Structure 1
Amino acid sequence: MRKAGWKKKKLKMKISLKFVRSNNLIFRILSVFLSLKICFSFLTAQPTKKPVPVMNPSGFKQSDRLLLGKVSLKVTPLREYKMKAGSTGLFELFVPYESGKFKLGDRLGGIDTAKLEIDQELMRMSESLLKEKDIPQWHLQRRSQIEQFKNQLSKIEGERSLAEQMLENPEKYRELFQSSKKDDVNQTLELKAYLETLSNHENQIKEMLSYVESVRKEELELGEIKKKFELRKMQFEMRMQEAYLTVPFDGEIEFLFPYVEGEKNYIQAGMDVALVRDLRELHGQVPIVDPDWRLYNKQKLELEVKSTKGNITARYLKSLSKEISGGEELIYSFKFDQQDNLALRNQLGGRTDGMLYLKLSRSAHMVPKFLLVSLGPDIFRKESWRGLVAQVCPEYDLLDVGLYSVAIAKKTTLEQGDE
């Protein structure tokens, strides 16, 4: 009985084991089939395109200016001139040693002025002597020369007349030559040679007399005397200019030389004495470091600078080139309003920071660049800013791209109709 029961139990175990094995095989077949189906569906499935989000930029700041960049600039006056010592010596100041406004031609001080005053008096005396002595004396000498030449001509004419008479009537004057051992032929030849010499001498004296009496002699000789004096006077005036510090134009003076009142102040030629500025206009000198800035209309560029009364705006005036470190640099000059000059006084000298703006054709929304790119990076890589704006903000038009923001404005009715 036990043996028959054991066999029966063993048979059931074999049947159940076969059933499990058959189930595992079916499971494996189904698993492989499902895997192949999934792979096939993955390979044949079309990729779905994500829709680009549309943004409404009306909530962003609206402005008619776009920030192009931050700049380092210099605030300069209309004119600026550094006055230097023209010579070496004792420097004397004629005005208080403090900043102030002065006019063209004002003298601030001088170098060795006591000696210059004596030289100036001597120059005045020389000018008086020229007018009262030298020129009248020249006219006297001229008249004396004319009289001398005329006397010589009279004497020559007398000698020539006598010699001609001797040739015409030798018998009459034979007694004068009785002591001479020469024959008549030799005496005649000598008289003819003497007459020729007198004639040449007479012509020379007449030419000299004609020149002495001419206006040309007066122009040349008196002109030489006057020009020599004018040269001396000009050289003295140059010494005066070097010695005296004269204001070259109306402006404000800032002293640079460490002058000590009540003491002797010696100065060397070439040392800085004062700085004069014409503050009727103030300009902002901006180096154009970004080549793209040159592409904008200059008249639409604006410069903004901080001041004691807030931000001040300047408008484009002109462009110029300056040599810096062996190369040329393009500079845009902007002009500030005259009413803002006082607030900008502290910005004179050295460099300051400012912002360069572009005046837009119409008011626009300033959308951050990073936000637009985050909405459609693939579109930005393929189509840049204009294509990105067309996708993200289809009802808006791109005006320009700034430093941090993109300026977009609502499309006009005409533009929408064209689309």
Structure 2
Amino acid sequence: MDIHGKKAAIVTLGCKVNQYETDAMRSMLENAGVIITDAGDEPDIYIVNTCSVTNMAERKSRQMLHRAKRKNPNVIVVAVGCYAQVGKEELAADGHIDLIIGNNKKKDLIKILEDYEPEGVPEAEVLDIASDRSFENLCVDHLETHTRAYIKVQDGCNQFCSYCIIPYARGRVRSRQKEDVLKEIRNLAEKGCREFVITGIHVTSYGTDLGDIRLIDLLEEISQIEGVERIRLGSLEPGFITEDVLGRLSRLKNFCPHFHLSLQSGCDTVLARMNRKYTTEDIREKCRMIRTFFDTPALTTDIIVGFPGETEEEFETTRRFLEEIQLYEMHIFKYSVRKGTKAAVMDHQVPDQIKAERSDILLAMAARNKKAFEEAQLGREKEVLMEEELRGRKNWYVGHTREYIRTAAYSETPVDHQIVKVQLKTVSEDGYVEGTLAAQKKKC
């Protein structure tokens, strides 16, 4: 198929790694002469970068794929990514999908599209991801905006948590060569990007398959690149947090003190059933250490409620622990049975009503914690990377502080895609902190 001049739309579901891979596929398509358009603009090719982390994510992936074919029976529908990897047979039998491209095959997207010939039978390009040890070296050479770039440095996971399908969808730990990471960041920094989010499926395992380099070493080299104003990290395993690592991070002038600790539960017996490799005492100590090295860092986490066998006493243990460690933000998830995982066949599955009740309790705590953290910052002057105009408010711009506090400020002149100093004034009910613009620092 001749794809030059054709229109393509890409929809992304799931994590930051998926977003990076979508950015890379967009670059590949544009370089091949494909016109990137919106899903509603009758594209010739419709690509869904799917997610498989929960059954709901798979359902949303299927809905996106079906919707495209219903709107335009002639569109070429392409399922890419994690659900394409683990659900190949389901997708092949679906009838709405033309191409199925698994993980570690996205780099071949252009060739797969060019070789495609509509014959009524879905074509699948899916590797045995468990035995593939190569890193899929995608690259983002430009972005639509100059605010923030996700940089994928690692893929795969060796942890096999009992609730998680991702090791089966992504394979084993594979790290990207340092030189490729640095080259991509240099290029994007030269084109105006100033914040880089270093991400991976299990990003703290970066380098364990390469030899004598680890994530902290990579971060130190990234920090030296001209034009890199901010470095932000994705989800962190607690084992990454040591006094040596924190000391080295605290010396990086462009490191953002925002630590997303992958916790999942605040009860040791639940953590053991999840096959997590730490205890609540480990987490308590990591939080203390971070707060020793950084002034008011933002600590955030993910929590699963209603894991199989979770008793009222275990949930209450989690609730008390979370009250104690006082995190800035908590993302609360109700446990979802994921076929193919150990947890899916565990005894004593928790009823949905109880999951919902426990979720509501922690969501209320999360809202209180978030407001308390933001109120404690009022009166301080913060650097804010402004991203866009605030919808519905003329001359107001919104962005994030280094701690990832969503901040809005009024400016007579445009400040989007700029780093400015803002004195924080009030916590808005609309989900951001309002402030007063102090002085423009740097144009991005």
TM-score, normalization by structure 1: 0.15
TM-score, normalization by structure 2: 0.15
Identify, as 1 or 2, the structure richer in helix: 1
Identify, as 1 or 2, the structure richer in strand: 1
